[in-house]
Amino acid sequence: MSKKLTRSSNDVMIAGVAAGLADYLNIDPVLVRVLFVILTLCGGPGLVAYIILWLIMPQEDITEKIDMN
């Protein structure tokens, strides 16, 4: 079964974007969150990228997650 890039609905700090990316990439969500913060503080596109991903990434469907387990 193929993975889908979706916002997390259970590991949410703001919108679930970082947790969704981390789940898709099989890495720790903290690393993705730290990357967004570093990009934002260094004058990079961190905040803009987060907002864009928030708008375009679909919300994770709970029933799909239950069926997979």
Residue 60, pLDDT above cutoff 70: yes
Give 18-54 pLDDT, tens digit per residue: 999 999 999 999 999 999 999 999 988 989 999 999 9
> 38, exposed or middle or buried, with CB in 10 Å at 0-12, 13-18, 19+?
exposed
Predicted pLDDT of residue 61: 82
pTM reported for the whole predicted model: 0.78
